[in-house]
Amino acid sequence: MKTAGVDVGSLAGKALILEDGRILSWGLVPTGPDSAETATEAMDAALKQAGLTLGDIEFIVSTGYGRVVVPFAHKNITEISCHAKGSNYFFPGVRTILDMGGQDCKAIRCDGTGKVVNFAMNDKCAAGAGRSMEVMADLLQIPLVDIGPRSLNVEKGEVSVSSTCTVFAKSEVLAHLRQGAPTNDILAGLCAALATRVYGLLKRVGIEPEFVISGGIAKNVGVVARVEQKVGLKASICFEPQIVGALGAAIFARETLLKQQKKPVTA
Amino acid sequence: MLSIGIDAGSLTTKAVLMEESKVLSRALVHSSTRNAAVAAIDECLAKAGLKAGDVLAIVATGIGRNEVAQATGHATEIICDARGAVQALPDARTVMDLGAESSRLIRCDSSGRVTDFVLNDKCAAGTGVFMDAMSKALRVPMPDMGELSLKSTQDVNITSMCVVFAESEVVSQIHRKVAKEDILSGIHKSIATRLYGMLNRVGNEKQVVAVGGLARNIGVIKWIRELAGTEVLVPEYPEYAGAVGAALIAADRNKS
Protein backbone atom coordinates (compact mmCIF):
# COMPACT_ATOMS: atom_id res chain seq x y z
CA MET A 1 0.00 0.00 0.00
CA LYS A 2 1.48 3.31 -1.10
CA THR A 3 0.37 6.56 0.50
CA ALA A 4 1.81 10.07 0.51
CA GLY A 5 1.87 13.19 2.64
CA VAL A 6 2.38 16.71 1.31
CA ASP A 7 3.33 19.54 3.66
CA VAL A 8 3.10 22.99 2.08
CA GLY A 9 4.93 25.28 4.47
CA SER A 10 5.57 29.00 4.25
CA LEU A 11 9.17 28.60 3.11
CA ALA A 12 9.43 24.97 1.92
CA GLY A 13 7.17 22.35 0.34
CA LYS A 14 7.70 18.75 1.42
CA ALA A 15 6.26 15.47 0.06
CA LEU A 16 6.89 11.97 1.34
CA ILE A 17 5.88 8.53 0.03
CA LEU A 18 5.20 5.68 2.42
CA GLU A 19 4.93 2.01 1.42
CA ASP A 20 3.44 -0.27 4.07
CA GLY A 21 4.73 1.97 6.81
CA ARG A 22 8.22 2.31 5.32
CA ILE A 23 9.59 5.60 3.94
CA LEU A 24 10.23 5.17 0.20
CA SER A 25 11.29 8.68 -0.79
CA TRP A 26 10.75 12.37 -0.18
CA GLY A 27 11.03 15.70 -1.95
CA LEU A 28 11.91 19.10 -0.51
CA VAL A 29 11.46 22.29 -2.57
CA PRO A 30 11.37 26.01 -1.70
CA THR A 31 7.85 27.47 -1.57
CA GLY A 32 6.98 29.59 -4.59
CA PRO A 33 4.24 32.19 -4.96
CA ASP A 34 1.74 29.49 -5.96
CA SER A 35 1.12 26.92 -3.21
CA ALA A 36 -0.52 24.39 -5.55
CA GLU A 37 2.54 24.49 -7.81
CA THR A 38 4.86 24.08 -4.84
CA ALA A 39 2.91 20.99 -3.74
CA THR A 40 3.14 19.51 -7.24
CA GLU A 41 6.88 20.19 -7.44
CA ALA A 42 7.54 18.53 -4.09
CA MET A 43 5.33 15.55 -5.00
CA ASP A 44 7.03 15.16 -8.40
CA ALA A 45 10.44 15.16 -6.73
CA ALA A 46 9.36 12.40 -4.34
CA LEU A 47 7.72 10.35 -7.13
CA LYS A 48 10.78 10.65 -9.35
CA GLN A 49 13.07 9.44 -6.61
CA ALA A 50 10.87 6.40 -5.99
CA GLY A 51 10.38 5.76 -9.71
CA LEU A 52 6.60 6.08 -9.37
CA THR A 53 3.79 8.11 -10.90
CA LEU A 54 0.95 9.88 -9.12
CA GLY A 55 -1.40 7.07 -10.17
CA ASP A 56 0.58 4.59 -8.03
CA ILE A 57 -0.29 6.46 -4.83
CA GLU A 58 -3.54 5.26 -3.32
CA PHE A 59 -4.23 8.03 -0.82
CA ILE A 60 -2.71 11.46 -0.25
CA VAL A 61 -3.10 13.73 2.79
CA SER A 62 -2.02 17.38 2.68
CA THR A 63 -0.93 19.54 5.60
CA GLY A 64 0.80 22.86 6.28
CA TYR A 65 -0.52 26.35 5.74
CA GLY A 66 -1.15 25.67 2.03
CA ARG A 67 -2.90 22.36 2.65
CA VAL A 68 -6.32 23.36 1.28
CA VAL A 69 -5.02 24.19 -2.20
CA VAL A 70 -3.15 20.92 -2.91
CA PRO A 71 -4.94 19.78 -6.08
CA PHE A 72 -4.23 16.04 -5.78
CA ALA A 73 -4.86 15.55 -2.05
CA HIS A 74 -7.76 13.38 -0.86
CA LYS A 75 -7.91 14.93 2.58
CA ASN A 76 -6.20 17.61 4.64
CA ILE A 77 -5.14 17.49 8.29
CA THR A 78 -3.60 20.24 10.43
CA GLU A 79 0.16 20.38 10.75
CA ILE A 80 -0.09 20.08 14.56
CA SER A 81 -1.59 16.59 14.27
CA CYS A 82 0.81 15.62 11.49
CA HIS A 83 3.90 16.71 13.42
CA ALA A 84 2.87 14.73 16.47
CA LYS A 85 2.15 11.70 14.30
CA GLY A 86 5.41 11.99 12.38
CA SER A 87 7.51 12.51 15.52
CA ASN A 88 5.91 9.43 17.08
CA TYR A 89 7.07 7.37 14.05
CA PHE A 90 10.73 8.23 14.65
CA PHE A 91 10.59 8.45 18.44
CA PRO A 92 7.75 6.37 19.95
CA GLY A 93 8.52 7.75 23.42
CA VAL A 94 7.97 11.39 22.39
CA ARG A 95 5.75 13.52 24.67
CA THR A 96 6.89 17.08 23.87
CA ILE A 97 7.62 18.46 20.41
CA LEU A 98 9.04 21.79 19.37
CA ASP A 99 8.35 22.36 15.71
CA MET A 100 9.80 25.51 14.32
CA GLY A 101 9.07 26.33 10.73
CA GLY A 102 9.54 29.36 8.55
CA GLN A 103 6.61 31.45 9.73
CA ASP A 104 5.49 29.77 12.88
CA CYS A 105 6.55 27.88 15.94
CA LYS A 106 4.58 25.23 17.80
CA ALA A 107 5.02 23.52 21.12
CA ILE A 108 3.05 20.27 21.08
CA ARG A 109 2.29 17.73 23.80
CA CYS A 110 1.21 14.27 22.66
CA ASP A 111 0.44 10.84 24.09
CA GLY A 112 2.11 7.49 23.40
CA THR A 113 0.21 7.03 20.14
CA GLY A 114 1.22 10.41 18.72
CA LYS A 115 -2.17 11.95 19.42
CA VAL A 116 -2.10 15.66 20.32
CA VAL A 117 -3.16 16.47 23.88
CA ASN A 118 -2.19 20.16 23.99
CA PHE A 119 -0.34 22.77 21.97
CA ALA A 120 0.71 26.41 21.91
CA MET A 121 1.54 28.28 18.77
CA ASN A 122 3.07 31.51 17.55
CA ASP A 123 2.24 32.40 13.98
CA LYS A 124 1.73 36.12 14.55
CA CYS A 125 5.26 37.36 15.02
CA ALA A 126 8.48 36.66 13.12
CA ALA A 127 10.52 36.78 16.32
CA GLY A 128 10.50 33.18 17.46
CA ALA A 129 10.06 31.77 13.96
CA GLY A 130 12.65 30.52 11.50
CA ARG A 131 12.06 33.55 9.37
CA SER A 132 13.92 35.78 11.83
CA MET A 133 17.08 33.76 11.15
CA GLU A 134 16.65 34.21 7.41
CA VAL A 135 16.29 37.96 7.86
CA MET A 136 19.50 38.05 9.91
CA ALA A 137 21.42 35.81 7.49
CA ASP A 138 20.43 38.23 4.77
CA LEU A 139 21.41 41.27 6.83
CA LEU A 140 24.79 39.83 7.83
CA GLN A 141 25.29 38.34 4.37
CA ILE A 142 26.17 34.89 5.58
CA PRO A 143 24.62 31.55 4.51
CA LEU A 144 21.71 30.44 6.72
CA VAL A 145 23.46 27.12 7.44
CA ASP A 146 26.48 28.91 8.94
CA ILE A 147 24.51 30.65 11.69
CA GLY A 148 24.36 27.68 14.07
CA PRO A 149 28.03 26.62 13.99
CA ARG A 150 29.29 30.22 14.06
CA SER A 151 27.05 31.10 17.02
CA LEU A 152 28.79 28.37 19.04
CA ASN A 153 32.19 29.83 18.26
CA VAL A 154 31.98 32.99 20.38
CA GLU A 155 35.01 35.31 20.15
CA LYS A 156 34.72 38.03 22.82
CA GLY A 157 31.42 37.22 24.46
CA GLU A 158 27.77 36.86 23.53
CA VAL A 159 26.20 40.16 22.44
CA SER A 160 22.68 40.30 23.80
CA VAL A 161 19.96 41.46 21.43
CA SER A 162 17.24 43.11 23.48
CA SER A 163 14.65 43.97 20.79
CA THR A 164 11.92 41.40 20.45
CA CYS A 165 10.68 42.59 17.06
CA THR A 166 12.78 41.32 14.14
CA VAL A 167 12.52 44.70 12.43
CA PHE A 168 13.91 46.52 15.48
CA ALA A 169 16.48 43.76 16.08
CA LYS A 170 17.85 44.45 12.60
CA SER A 171 18.70 48.04 13.60
CA GLU A 172 20.14 46.78 16.87
CA VAL A 173 22.37 44.26 15.08
CA LEU A 174 23.62 46.96 12.71
CA ALA A 175 24.46 49.16 15.70
CA HIS A 176 26.43 46.29 17.29
CA LEU A 177 28.33 45.77 14.04
CA ARG A 178 29.18 49.48 13.86
CA GLN A 179 30.56 49.25 17.38
CA GLY A 180 32.83 46.46 16.22
CA ALA A 181 31.14 43.40 17.73
CA PRO A 182 32.26 40.17 16.00
CA THR A 183 29.58 38.61 13.80
CA ASN A 184 29.83 35.30 15.68
CA ASP A 185 29.07 37.02 19.00
CA ILE A 186 26.00 38.71 17.51
CA LEU A 187 24.85 35.38 16.08
CA ALA A 188 25.23 33.88 19.55
CA GLY A 189 22.94 36.60 20.91
CA LEU A 190 20.38 36.03 18.15
CA CYS A 191 20.28 32.25 18.71
CA ALA A 192 19.95 32.81 22.46
CA ALA A 193 17.07 35.26 21.93
CA LEU A 194 15.26 32.80 19.69
CA ALA A 195 15.78 30.00 22.23
CA THR A 196 14.31 32.20 24.98
CA ARG A 197 11.25 32.96 22.87
CA VAL A 198 10.50 29.33 22.06
CA TYR A 199 11.20 28.21 25.61
CA GLY A 200 8.35 30.47 26.70
CA LEU A 201 6.06 28.62 24.32
CA LEU A 202 7.26 25.23 25.61
CA LYS A 203 6.65 26.24 29.21
CA ARG A 204 3.04 27.01 28.35
CA VAL A 205 2.34 23.40 27.37
CA GLY A 206 4.67 21.88 29.96
CA ILE A 207 7.76 19.86 29.14
CA GLU A 208 7.98 16.11 29.59
CA PRO A 209 10.55 13.72 28.08
CA GLU A 210 11.08 12.53 25.39
CA PHE A 211 11.68 15.92 23.79
CA VAL A 212 11.77 16.19 20.00
CA ILE A 213 12.68 19.16 17.80
CA SER A 214 11.46 19.19 14.21
CA GLY A 215 11.16 21.70 11.38
CA GLY A 216 13.88 23.65 9.62
CA ILE A 217 15.27 25.25 12.77
CA ALA A 218 16.27 21.80 14.07
CA LYS A 219 19.13 22.09 11.59
CA ASN A 220 20.51 25.11 13.47
CA VAL A 221 22.84 23.63 16.10
CA GLY A 222 23.18 27.02 17.79
CA VAL A 223 19.46 27.27 18.54
CA VAL A 224 19.12 23.56 19.39
CA ALA A 225 22.00 23.68 21.92
CA ARG A 226 20.50 26.71 23.66
CA VAL A 227 16.97 25.27 23.75
CA GLU A 228 18.36 22.03 25.20
CA GLN A 229 20.17 24.00 27.87
CA LYS A 230 17.01 25.88 28.88
CA VAL A 231 14.78 22.81 28.79
CA GLY A 232 17.38 20.66 30.57
CA LEU A 233 16.80 17.77 28.18
CA LYS A 234 18.67 16.46 25.17
CA ALA A 235 16.54 16.84 22.06
CA SER A 236 15.84 13.94 19.72
CA ILE A 237 16.13 15.02 16.11
CA CYS A 238 15.53 12.71 13.15
CA PHE A 239 17.79 12.59 10.09
CA GLU A 240 15.63 15.07 8.12
CA PRO A 241 13.63 17.27 10.54
CA GLN A 242 11.84 19.09 7.72
CA ILE A 243 9.91 16.01 6.54
CA VAL A 244 8.21 15.17 9.85
CA GLY A 245 4.94 16.91 8.92
CA ALA A 246 4.76 15.23 5.51
CA LEU A 247 5.55 11.89 7.15
CA GLY A 248 2.71 12.36 9.64
CA ALA A 249 0.38 13.18 6.77
CA ALA A 250 1.44 10.04 4.88
CA ILE A 251 0.80 7.94 8.02
CA PHE A 252 -2.67 9.50 8.36
CA ALA A 253 -3.27 8.64 4.69
CA ARG A 254 -2.34 5.02 5.38
CA GLU A 255 -4.57 4.85 8.47
CA THR A 256 -7.50 6.37 6.57
CA LEU A 257 -7.10 3.84 3.78
CA LEU A 258 -6.85 0.92 6.21
CA LYS A 259 -10.03 2.07 7.95
CA GLN A 260 -11.85 2.34 4.61
CA GLN A 261 -10.75 -1.15 3.60
CA LYS A 262 -12.04 -2.61 6.85
CA LYS A 263 -15.54 -1.33 6.13
CA PRO A 264 -17.82 -3.87 4.46
CA VAL A 265 -18.36 -3.13 0.78
CA THR A 266 -21.88 -1.98 0.17
CA ALA A 267 -22.86 -2.42 -3.45
CA MET B 1 10.77 84.38 27.83
CA LEU B 2 12.35 82.31 25.06
CA SER B 3 12.55 78.55 25.26
CA ILE B 4 13.47 75.67 22.98
CA GLY B 5 11.97 72.21 22.88
CA ILE B 6 13.89 69.48 21.16
CA ASP B 7 12.45 66.09 20.31
CA ALA B 8 15.18 63.59 19.41
CA GLY B 9 13.16 60.83 17.78
CA SER B 10 14.36 57.55 16.31
CA LEU B 11 14.07 58.84 12.74
CA THR B 12 13.96 62.65 12.91
CA THR B 13 14.99 65.30 15.41
CA LYS B 14 12.66 68.26 15.75
CA ALA B 15 13.29 71.60 17.42
CA VAL B 16 10.98 74.55 18.06
CA LEU B 17 11.84 77.95 19.38
CA MET B 18 9.00 79.59 21.35
CA GLU B 19 8.29 82.90 22.92
CA GLU B 20 5.77 82.09 25.66
CA SER B 21 3.14 80.12 23.78
CA LYS B 22 4.02 81.43 20.33
CA VAL B 23 6.17 79.37 17.95
CA LEU B 24 8.92 81.53 16.41
CA SER B 25 10.65 78.88 14.30
CA ARG B 26 10.81 75.16 13.60
CA ALA B 27 13.52 72.83 12.33
CA LEU B 28 13.60 69.15 11.44
CA VAL B 29 16.75 67.13 10.70
CA HIS B 30 17.39 63.44 10.21
CA SER B 31 18.46 61.81 13.49
CA SER B 32 21.30 60.01 11.70
CA THR B 33 22.88 63.41 10.95
CA ARG B 34 26.02 64.08 12.96
CA ASN B 35 25.07 66.23 16.00
CA ALA B 36 21.44 66.28 14.86
CA ALA B 37 20.27 68.13 17.99
CA VAL B 38 22.84 70.91 17.57
CA ALA B 39 21.93 71.25 13.89
CA ALA B 40 18.21 71.51 14.67
CA ILE B 41 18.74 74.08 17.46
CA ASP B 42 21.09 76.18 15.31
CA GLU B 43 18.62 76.16 12.44
CA CYS B 44 15.83 77.35 14.74
CA LEU B 45 17.94 80.19 16.13
CA ALA B 46 19.13 81.26 12.68
CA LYS B 47 15.57 81.33 11.31
CA ALA B 48 14.47 83.59 14.19
CA GLY B 49 17.65 85.72 13.98
CA LEU B 50 18.67 84.85 17.55
CA LYS B 51 21.72 83.34 19.19
CA ALA B 52 22.13 80.60 21.78
CA GLY B 53 22.65 83.05 24.66
CA ASP B 54 19.15 84.52 24.13
CA VAL B 55 17.45 81.27 25.14
CA LEU B 56 17.27 80.44 28.83
CA ALA B 57 15.74 77.00 28.85
CA ILE B 58 15.99 73.98 26.58
CA VAL B 59 14.07 70.79 27.35
CA ALA B 60 14.85 67.62 25.42
CA THR B 61 12.47 64.73 24.85
CA GLY B 62 12.37 61.66 22.63
CA ILE B 63 14.40 58.46 22.66
CA GLY B 64 17.67 60.37 22.25
CA ARG B 65 16.90 63.06 24.85
CA ASN B 66 19.79 62.12 27.12
CA GLU B 67 22.30 62.77 24.35
CA VAL B 68 21.27 66.40 23.85
CA ALA B 69 24.19 68.21 25.50
CA GLN B 70 22.59 71.69 25.40
CA ALA B 71 19.46 70.63 27.27
CA THR B 72 18.81 72.26 30.63
CA GLY B 73 16.23 69.61 31.40
CA HIS B 74 14.47 66.49 30.11
CA ALA B 75 10.89 65.24 29.90
CA THR B 76 9.34 62.02 28.58
CA GLU B 77 7.74 62.03 25.15
CA ILE B 78 4.39 61.12 26.69
CA ILE B 79 4.25 64.25 28.82
CA CYS B 80 5.49 66.44 25.97
CA ASP B 81 3.12 64.97 23.36
CA ALA B 82 0.08 65.62 25.51
CA ARG B 83 1.15 69.16 26.32
CA GLY B 84 1.95 69.93 22.67
CA ALA B 85 -1.31 68.47 21.40
CA VAL B 86 -3.45 70.46 23.85
CA GLN B 87 -1.50 73.59 22.91
CA ALA B 88 -2.34 73.05 19.22
CA LEU B 89 -5.91 71.86 19.73
CA PRO B 90 -7.22 72.78 23.20
CA ASP B 91 -10.01 70.20 23.15
CA ALA B 92 -7.57 67.30 22.80
CA ARG B 93 -8.20 64.72 25.53
CA THR B 94 -6.96 61.59 23.75
CA VAL B 95 -3.66 61.98 21.93
CA MET B 96 -2.33 59.43 19.47
CA ASP B 97 1.36 59.83 18.75
CA LEU B 98 2.15 57.98 15.56
CA GLY B 99 5.93 57.87 15.53
CA ALA B 100 8.56 56.13 13.44
CA GLU B 101 9.39 53.31 15.84
CA SER B 102 6.72 53.55 18.46
CA SER B 103 3.10 54.53 18.91
CA ARG B 104 1.52 55.98 22.02
CA LEU B 105 -2.03 56.54 23.10
CA ILE B 106 -2.33 59.16 25.80
CA ARG B 107 -5.27 60.46 27.85
CA CYS B 108 -4.90 63.91 29.30
CA ASP B 109 -6.85 66.71 30.98
CA SER B 110 -7.56 70.24 29.75
CA SER B 111 -4.14 71.47 30.86
CA GLY B 112 -2.39 68.71 28.94
CA ARG B 113 -1.56 66.74 32.08
CA VAL B 114 -1.30 62.98 31.40
CA THR B 115 -3.88 60.79 33.15
CA ASP B 116 -3.26 57.47 31.37
CA PHE B 117 -1.32 56.02 28.46
CA VAL B 118 -0.58 52.90 26.40
CA LEU B 119 2.72 52.45 24.64
CA ASN B 120 3.93 50.15 21.88
CA ASP B 121 7.65 50.20 21.28
CA LYS B 122 8.16 46.43 21.23
CA CYS B 123 6.63 45.55 17.89
CA ALA B 124 7.06 47.36 14.57
CA ALA B 125 3.45 46.66 13.55
CA GLY B 126 1.47 49.82 14.26
CA THR B 127 4.46 52.14 13.84
CA GLY B 128 5.95 54.17 11.00
CA VAL B 129 8.45 51.37 10.34
CA PHE B 130 5.54 49.26 9.11
CA MET B 131 4.56 51.94 6.58
CA ASP B 132 8.18 52.38 5.52
CA ALA B 133 8.52 48.65 4.83
CA MET B 134 5.25 48.66 2.86
CA SER B 135 6.31 51.73 0.92
CA LYS B 136 9.43 49.87 -0.18
CA ALA B 137 7.57 46.65 -1.00
CA LEU B 138 5.06 48.52 -3.17
CA ARG B 139 7.51 51.12 -4.46
CA VAL B 140 5.16 53.94 -3.53
CA PRO B 141 6.84 56.91 -1.78
CA MET B 142 5.69 57.39 1.83
CA PRO B 143 4.03 60.80 1.27
CA ASP B 144 1.91 59.40 -1.59
CA MET B 145 0.65 56.30 0.19
CA GLY B 146 -2.31 57.83 2.00
CA GLU B 147 -3.77 59.68 -0.99
CA LEU B 148 -3.37 56.68 -3.28
CA SER B 149 -5.06 54.37 -0.78
CA LEU B 150 -8.21 56.51 -0.93
CA LYS B 151 -8.65 55.52 -4.61
CA SER B 152 -9.22 51.88 -3.62
CA THR B 153 -12.33 50.23 -5.02
CA GLN B 154 -11.92 46.75 -3.56
CA ASP B 155 -11.42 45.60 0.01
CA VAL B 156 -8.14 43.76 0.56
CA ASN B 157 -7.24 42.37 3.95
CA ILE B 158 -3.65 42.18 5.12
CA THR B 159 -3.95 39.36 7.63
CA SER B 160 -0.34 39.28 8.90
CA MET B 161 0.27 41.42 11.92
CA CYS B 162 4.05 41.09 11.83
CA VAL B 163 5.83 43.51 9.49
CA VAL B 164 8.13 40.73 8.31
CA PHE B 165 5.19 38.50 7.37
CA ALA B 166 3.15 41.39 5.94
CA GLU B 167 5.99 42.14 3.53
CA SER B 168 5.72 38.62 2.06
CA GLU B 169 1.94 38.90 2.01
CA VAL B 170 2.06 42.16 0.08
CA VAL B 171 4.60 40.77 -2.37
CA SER B 172 2.37 37.76 -3.06
CA GLN B 173 -0.57 40.12 -3.68
CA ILE B 174 1.51 42.11 -6.14
CA HIS B 175 2.25 38.80 -7.91
CA ARG B 176 -1.47 38.08 -8.00
CA LYS B 177 -1.96 41.42 -9.76
CA VAL B 178 -4.07 42.97 -7.01
CA ALA B 179 -4.32 46.75 -7.64
CA LYS B 180 -1.81 48.85 -5.69
CA GLU B 181 -4.54 51.17 -4.38
CA ASP B 182 -6.43 48.21 -2.93
CA ILE B 183 -3.33 46.72 -1.29
CA LEU B 184 -2.54 50.17 0.10
CA SER B 185 -6.02 50.52 1.53
CA GLY B 186 -5.60 47.13 3.22
CA ILE B 187 -2.24 48.22 4.63
CA HIS B 188 -3.74 51.39 6.08
CA LYS B 189 -6.64 49.49 7.53
CA SER B 190 -4.22 47.04 9.13
CA ILE B 191 -2.15 49.69 10.91
CA ALA B 192 -5.28 51.62 11.89
CA THR B 193 -6.74 48.46 13.43
CA ARG B 194 -3.68 48.12 15.65
CA LEU B 195 -3.92 51.76 16.71
CA TYR B 196 -7.66 51.45 17.27
CA GLY B 197 -6.97 48.56 19.64
CA MET B 198 -4.68 50.81 21.64
CA LEU B 199 -7.23 53.61 21.51
CA ASN B 200 -9.79 51.29 23.05
CA ARG B 201 -7.43 50.49 25.86
CA VAL B 202 -7.05 54.10 26.98
CA GLY B 203 -10.57 55.02 25.97
CA ASN B 204 -11.52 57.99 23.84
CA GLU B 205 -13.07 60.98 25.44
CA LYS B 206 -14.05 64.18 23.67
CA GLN B 207 -11.48 65.11 21.06
CA VAL B 208 -9.07 62.55 19.61
CA VAL B 209 -5.97 64.23 18.19
CA ALA B 210 -3.26 62.51 16.13
CA VAL B 211 0.31 63.80 16.20
CA GLY B 212 3.67 62.46 14.98
CA GLY B 213 4.90 62.08 11.43
CA LEU B 214 2.42 59.38 10.47
CA ALA B 215 -0.51 61.66 11.40
CA ARG B 216 0.10 63.34 8.02
CA ASN B 217 -1.03 60.14 6.32
CA ILE B 218 -4.68 60.68 5.41
CA GLY B 219 -5.23 56.94 4.79
CA VAL B 220 -4.34 56.02 8.37
CA ILE B 221 -6.47 58.84 9.82
CA LYS B 222 -9.42 57.90 7.61
CA TRP B 223 -9.41 54.31 8.82
CA ILE B 224 -9.05 55.27 12.49
CA ARG B 225 -12.03 57.61 12.08
CA GLU B 226 -14.01 54.84 10.47
CA LEU B 227 -13.11 52.17 13.01
CA ALA B 228 -13.55 54.38 16.07
CA GLY B 229 -16.62 56.16 14.69
CA THR B 230 -15.26 59.44 15.90
CA GLU B 231 -13.56 62.52 14.47
CA VAL B 232 -9.77 62.49 14.61
CA LEU B 233 -8.13 65.91 14.29
CA VAL B 234 -4.59 66.55 13.10
CA PRO B 235 -2.81 69.81 13.98
CA GLU B 236 -1.05 71.82 11.28
CA TYR B 237 2.43 70.59 12.27
CA PRO B 238 1.79 67.16 13.78
CA GLU B 239 5.44 66.08 13.93
CA TYR B 240 6.33 69.02 16.20
CA ALA B 241 3.85 68.28 19.01
CA GLY B 242 6.48 66.72 21.25
CA ALA B 243 8.96 69.54 20.66
CA VAL B 244 6.30 72.18 21.37
CA GLY B 245 5.38 70.39 24.59
CA ALA B 246 9.04 70.32 25.58
CA ALA B 247 9.46 74.06 24.90
CA LEU B 248 6.38 74.86 27.02
CA ILE B 249 7.68 72.69 29.85
CA ALA B 250 11.06 74.42 29.58
CA ALA B 251 9.37 77.81 30.02
CA ASP B 252 7.29 76.56 32.96
CA ARG B 253 10.30 75.19 34.76
CA ASN B 254 12.26 78.36 34.24
CA LYS B 255 9.46 80.44 35.78
CA SER B 256 9.11 78.39 38.90
Give dist(CA A223, CA A227) in Å, integer: 6
The pTM of the full predicted model, rounded to 2 decimals, is: 0.82
Q: How is chain B split into domains, by residue range?
A: 1-89+239-256, 90-234
Query: Residue A103: pLDDT band by 50, 70, 90 thresholds?
Result: confident
With CA atoms as reference, the chain A residue closest to B172 would be A33
With CA atoms as reference, the chain B residue closest to A163 would be B122
A203 shares a domain with A131: yes
Q: Which of A33, A125, A163 sits opposite B162 (nearest CB)?
A: A125
Other CB atoms within a 10 A radius of the CB of residue B64 amount to: 17
Containing domain of residue A50, as a range?
Answer: 1-91+239-267
Q: Which residues of B touch A (CB under 8 A)?
A: 101, 122-124, 129, 133, 161-165, 168, 172, 175-176
Q: Which of residues 141-180 of A touch B (CB under 8 A)?
A: 163-168
Q: Which of B163, B172, B175 sits opposite A167 (nearest CB)?
A: B163
Q: Say whether residue A124 is in contact with chain B using an 8 A CB cutoff.
A: yes
Q: Which of A33, A126, A163 sits opposite B162 (nearest CB)?
A: A126
What would the pLDDT profile of A186-238 be if each residue is shown by its tens digit? 999 999 999 999 999 999 999 999 999 999 889 999 999 999 999 999 999 99
Is the model's pLDDT at B184 over the cut of 60?
yes
What's the Cα-to-Cα distance from B208 to each of B18, B90, B118, rounded to whole Å?
Answer: 25, 11, 15
Smallest CA–CA distance, residue A122 to chain B, in Å, is 11
With CA atoms as reference, the chain B residue closest to A131 would be B164
Q: What is the mean pLDDT of chain B?
A: 93
A106 shares a domain with A209: yes
Fold of B90-234: Nucleotidyltransferase; domain 5 (3.30.420)
Cβ contacts (< 8 Å) between A132 and chain B: which residues? 164
How many contacts (CB atoms, under 8 Å) link A and B?
A: 38
Contact yes or no for B233/B122 (Cβ under 8 A): no
Do the chains contact at A165 and B172, CB–CB below 8 Å?
no
Over residues B84-108, mean pLDDT: 95
Do the chains contact at A126 and B124, CB–CB below 8 Å?
no
pLDDT attached to residue A265: 58
Which residue would you say has higher pLDDT here, A26 or B205? A26
pLDDT attached to residue A65: 86
What's the Cα-to-Cα distance from B249 to each of B60, B79, B246, rounded to whole Å?
Answer: 10, 9, 5
A172 shares a domain with A161: yes
pLDDT attached to residue A166: 93
What would the pLDDT profile of B112-152 be if each residue is shown by its tens digit? 999 999 999 889 999 999 999 999 999 999 999 999 999 99
With CA atoms as reference, the chain A residue closest to B164 would be A126
A161 shares a domain with A133: yes
pLDDT attached to residue A90: 96
pLDDT attached to residue A262: 78
Do the chains contact at A33 and B163, CB–CB below 8 Å?
no
Do the chains contact at A164 and B162, CB–CB below 8 Å?
no
Domain with A181 in it: what CATH number? 3.30.420.40
Is the model's pLDDT at A264 over the cut of 80?
no
Is the model's pLDDT at A78 over the cut of 80?
yes
Query: Residue A266: pLDDT band by 50, 70, 90 thresholds?
Result: low
Over its C-alpha atoms, chain B yields an Rg (Å, rounded) of: 19
A258 shares a domain with A141: no
Fold matches, B1-89+239-256 and B90-234: yes
Residue percentage of chain B with pLDDT more than 70: 100
Is the model's pLDDT at B73 over the cut of 70?
yes
DSSP structure class, residue B67: G
Smallest CA–CA distance, residue B230 to chain A, in Å, is 29
Cβ contacts (< 8 Å) between B161 and chain A: which residues? 124-125
A226 shares a domain with A106: yes
With CA atoms as reference, the chain A residue closest to B130 would be A167
**SS3 letters for chain A?**
CEEEEEEECCCEEEEEEEECCEEEEEEEEECCCCHHHHHHHHHHHHHHHHCCCHHHCCEEEEECCCHHHCCCCCEECCHHHHHHHHHHHHCCCCCEEEEECCCCEEEEEECCCCCEEEEEEECCCCCCCHHHHHHHHHHHCCCHHHHHHHHCCCCCCCCCCCCCCHHHHHHHHHHHHHCCCCHHHHHHHHHHHHHHHHHHHHHHHCCCCCEEEECHHHHCHHHHHHHHHHHCCCCECCCCHHHHHHHHHHHHHHHHHHHHHHCCCCC
Number of structural domains found in chain A: 2
Class of B1-89+239-256 in CATH: alpha beta
A159 shares a domain with A82: no
Cβ contacts (< 8 Å) between B32 and chain A: which residues? none
Do the chains contact at B165 and A131, CB–CB below 8 Å?
yes
Q: Say whether residue A32 is in contact with chain B using an 8 A CB cutoff.
A: no
Give dist(CA B151, CA B224) in Å, integer: 17
Q: Which residues of B195-222 are buried (b: 16+ CB within 10 A; e: fewer)?
A: bbebbeebebeebbbbbbbbbbbebbbb
Do the chains contact at B123 and A125, CB–CB below 8 Å?
yes
Cβ contacts (< 8 Å) between A103 and chain B: which residues? 165
Picking from A167, A170, A178 by the largest number of B CB atoms within 10 A of its own CB, the best residue to mutate is A167
Cβ contacts (< 8 Å) between A130 and chain B: which residues? none
With CA atoms as reference, the chain A residue closest to B171 would be A33
Over residues B59-84, mean pLDDT: 94
pLDDT attached to residue A50: 94
The answer, yes or no, to whether ipTM is higher than 0.90 is no
A254 shares a domain with A146: no
A57 shares a domain with A21: yes
Q: Say whether residue A194 is in contact with chain B using an 8 A CB cutoff.
A: no
With CA atoms as reference, the chain A residue closest to B175 would be A33
What would the pLDDT profile of B8-54 be if each residue is shown by its tens digit? 998 999 999 999 999 999 999 999 888 999 999 999 999 999 998 89
Smallest CA–CA distance, residue A123 to chain B, in Å, is 9
pLDDT attached to residue A43: 96
A114 shares a domain with A99: yes
